Amino acid sequence: MQGLQDKVVIVAGAATGLGADSARRLAQEGAKVVVGDLNAEGAEKTAAEINAAGGTAVAAQFDISDDDSVKELIAVAVATFGGLDAVHINAGDMGAVSKDTNVVDIDLEIWDRTIAVNLRGHMLVSRHSIPELLKRGGGSIVFTSSVASFAGQPQRPAYSATKAGINALARHIASGWGKDGIRANAITPGLILTDEIKQGAPPKMLEDKLRETRSTRLGEARDISSMVAYLMSDDGSWINGQVVNVDGGTYLR
Ligand SMILES: NC(=O)c1ccc[n+]([C@@H]2O[C@H](COP(=O)([O-])OP(=O)(O)OC[C@H]3O[C@@H](n4cnc5c(N)ncnc54)[C@H](O)[C@@H]3O)[C@@H](O)[C@H]2O)c1
């Protein structure tokens, strides 16, 4: 990809899974990466792997649901690397998903926690990143949304609502700051075989998911991290305000 060398990037939610892979890929492209996560040990591990492979990364513990903590995360990027060029806002409370039943039965604490992390948290990172991006003449924000944002499902109402909200946030930011050089896009992954899903998913569920695709295989983390890198790079510089579906052709939109 063009133009990621020495760019300062935060991956917000990068201890494990898709965020960790995004941090590794962006570092391979030459970016200096702040690996942010609530899981401090996981963030340290991701950053250490990047540094051991010859890249540049620093770990920062933060809580995306806490405004002051998000401000601190942005400050780490500025203090460590001198500014901010791009952000991948990826954190999601995956622990709450199994209890995200339906609007009649859902425990309101699960609803509120999902909104606090998956939507309000993404808004907080956007809100505190934009002024720093503007100081560098613009930049790129990439959100991890989900096919759940548009699919229509009988369960996971909180998760789906937050992801639809993320799509709206991307469109809002592109509309508000596009002329100032800021691009904001959301990626909607289908099922991606992260290590956790590889270990925990029933084989039958994986077979069903594969059948739903128009592909020979299920998704891998690299399918998402390559799209993140593309959207942040100069190669993707005329893409703004889009919801980009990466799901092996499951949904044709
Ligand atoms: N894996 C998939 O199939 C899939 C599909 C569609 C969308 N997604 C989305 O991709 C993103 C990553 O999911 P994943 O599958 O890699 O799961 P994951 O659990 O490995 O990643 C989520 C990360 O967010 C962090 N996090 C959770 N709460 C946080 C908080 N309060 N503050 C800061 N960090 C916090 C976690 O510690 C973790 O590192 C999520 O937004 C998820 O909704 C995943």
Residues 6+ apart with CB under 8 A from 189: 18, 144, 146, 147, 219, 223, 224, 246, 247
Query: What is the extent of the structural domain holding 215?
Result: 8-245
pLDDT in tens, 8-21: 999 999 999 999 99
CATH number, domain with residue 28 = 3.40.50.720
- Cα(21) to centroid(ligand 1), Å: 12
Nearest protein CA to atom 9 of ligand 1, as residue: 144
Q: Which residues contact 1 (CB under 8 A, 6 or more apart)?
A: 29, 229, 230, 232, 233, 234, 235
- Averaged pLDDT, 147-176: 98
Q: Answer for the pair 189, 141: CB distance below 8 angstroms, yes or no.
A: no
Which pLDDT does position 8 carry in this prediction?
99
194 in any annotated domain = yes
Active site residue 159: yes
Q: Whose CA is nearest to atom 2 of ligand 1?
A: 192
pLDDT at 125: 99
Please identify, by atom number, the ligand 1 atom nearest to the C-alpha of residue 66: 31
Q: How far is the CA of 188 from the centre of ligand 1 (A)?
A: 13
Q: Please provide the DSSP assignment of 55-86 as one string.
A: -EEEEEE--TT-HHHHHHHHHHHHHHHSS--E
CA of 61 to the centre of ligand 1 (A): 15
Measured from the Cα of 163, ligand 1's closest atom is 43
Say how far apart CA 234 and CA 22 lie, in whole Å: 17
pLDDT at 17: 98
Predicted pLDDT at 235: 98
Predicted pLDDT at 28: 98
2 falls within a domain:
no
The pLDDT tens digits of the residues spanning 41-85 come to 999 999 999 999 999 999 999 999 999 999 999 999 999 999 999
Domain assignment of residue 1, yes or no: no
Which of the listed residues 94, 149, 243 should we mutate to test ligand 1's pocket, taking the one with most ligand atoms within 8 A of CB? Answer: 94
Give me the number of domains the chain comprises: 1
Model pTM? 0.99
Kindly state whether residue 92 falls inside one of the protein's structural domains: yes
Would residue 103 count as lying in a domain?
yes
Note whether 228 and 25 are within 8 A (CB). yes
